[in-house]
């Protein structure tokens, strides 16, 4: 497998500026772990553990650093005493690993928590033992009805200039809020979805904007049932010019229509409410048929796309939104996440969900 270049920290102000127009919907320990299994009499290629964190002792979530009018970042730093891995995630070239705060209105350091907030806190975890979780919440969407303009996400940012991440596996434990079904409203435009995890590319016209996004979302149907949707599209904030010569962010209803390259829907695997569940995603980036995006929940595959996983310009990944509090429903929208692992391939075999 190709190696992924490491870079140092920095570019904090540049990253903040680049996030202003609608971003999204570390370092390793002393040694890397690896895993391989025997399947059908054949050895599955070894995968290497790049990063692991439980937000354990030593991990610090900084105060909101408001670098633009409607939001800012809470940087994650320090070595996780439970895993030995440090934030930011240097293994994927991250120059900033942080909670990104996007408020629906201009805010200050004293008002931002009225709209969006996050914290590391102790809870009862997936195995019934105390664990640390990253809690993120959109508190108020600023009176925009069901179309939320507030967002909180766990962001791994990386410069587009260091190249792509050709293949990666990410898993984490998540817990959905108990009133999620009531919070989502399929009868209101854009009111029926919740984003779970995604990535975006960057580098278009030598800016942070990109040409491709992959994501997993929960959707509430008109029958009230929740189901999974996984897709690849061009909604990565790429910049174009309108008829007057002014820049516009794509997709745009007139100048840059949304293009959905692929979409997989799963109504069979249950959406777990108010209980811990495991999310797994894997991608292999390619403009050809060997491309792949795979996702599983609680050991059950919800999507396995084979085919191109690149945008029209072939731009590299510069933003990984591991987990998000971001949806179209009534606030508050919550995200609970812990037990993050990042590998350079399938740790449990080619397309085999890992045991819980």
In a domain, 25, yes or no: no
In a domain, 21, yes or no: no
Q: Is the pLDDT of residue 5 over 50?
A: no
Q: Is the pLDDT of residue 7 over 50?
A: no
Q: Quick: pLDDT tens for 110-137.
A: 899 999 999 999 999 999 999 999 999 9
The boundaries of the domain holding residue 185 are 43-343
In a domain, 132, yes or no: yes
In a domain, 35, yes or no: no
Q: Quick: pLDDT tens for 277-295.
A: 999 999 999 999 999 999 9
* Greatest alpha-carbon span in the chain: 63
Supply the pLDDT for residue 274: 98
CATH of the domain at 64: 2.60.120.200
In a domain, 128, yes or no: yes
Q: What is the pTM of this model?
A: 0.87
- Could you tell me the two tokens for 202? 């960057």
In a domain, 351, yes or no: no
Supply the pLDDT for residue 350: 76
In a domain, 277, yes or no: yes
The stretch 26-51 carries a mean pLDDT of 54
In a domain, 262, yes or no: yes
The total of structural domains in the chain comes to: 1
Spacing of C-alpha 130 from chain mean position: 25
């Amino acid at each position: 497998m190709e190696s992924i270049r490491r870079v140092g920290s920095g570019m904090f102000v540049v990253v903040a500026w680049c996030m202003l127009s609608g971003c999204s919907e570390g370092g390793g320990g002393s040694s890397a772990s690896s895993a391989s299994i025997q399947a059908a009499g054949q050895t599955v290629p070894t995968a290497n553990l790049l990063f692991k964190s439980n937000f354990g002792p030593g991990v610090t979530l900084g105060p909101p650093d408001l670098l633009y009018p409607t939001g800012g970042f809470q940087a994650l730093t320090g070595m996780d005493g439970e895993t030995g891995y440090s934030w930011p995630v240097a293994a994927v070239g991250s120059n900033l690993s942080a909670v990104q705060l996007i408020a629906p209105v201009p805010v200050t350091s004293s008002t931002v928590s009225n709209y969006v907030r996050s914290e590391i806190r102790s809870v009862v975890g997936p195995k019934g033992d105390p664990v640390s979780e990253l809690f993120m919440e959109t508190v108020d969407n600023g009176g925009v009805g069901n179309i939320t303009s507030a967002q909180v996400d766990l962001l791994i940012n990386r410069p587009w200039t260091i190249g792509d991440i050709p293949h990666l596996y990410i898993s984490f434990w998540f817990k959905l809020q108990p009133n999620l079904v009531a919070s989502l409203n399929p009868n209101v435009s854009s009111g029926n979805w919740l984003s779970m995890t995604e990535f975006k590319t960057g580098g278009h016209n030598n800016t942070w904007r990109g040409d491709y996004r992959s994501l997993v979302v929960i959707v509430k149907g008109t029958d009230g049932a929740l189901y999974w949707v996984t897709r690849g599209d061009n909604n990565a904030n790429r910049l174009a010019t309108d008829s007057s010569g002014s820049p516009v962010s794509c997709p745009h209803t007139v100048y840059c229509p949304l293009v959905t390259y692929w979409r997989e829907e799963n109504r069979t695997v249950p959406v777990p409410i108010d209980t811990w569940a495991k999310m797994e995603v894997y991608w292999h980036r390619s403009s050809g048929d060997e491309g792949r995006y795979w996702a599983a929940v609680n050991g059950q595959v919800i999507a396995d796309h084979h085919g191109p996983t690149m945008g029209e310009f072939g731009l590299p990944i510069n933003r990984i939104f591991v987990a998000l509090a971001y949806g179209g429903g009534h606030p508050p929208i919550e995200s609970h996440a812990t037990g993050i692992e990042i590998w350079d391939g399938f740790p449990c075999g080619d397309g085999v969900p890992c045991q819980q």
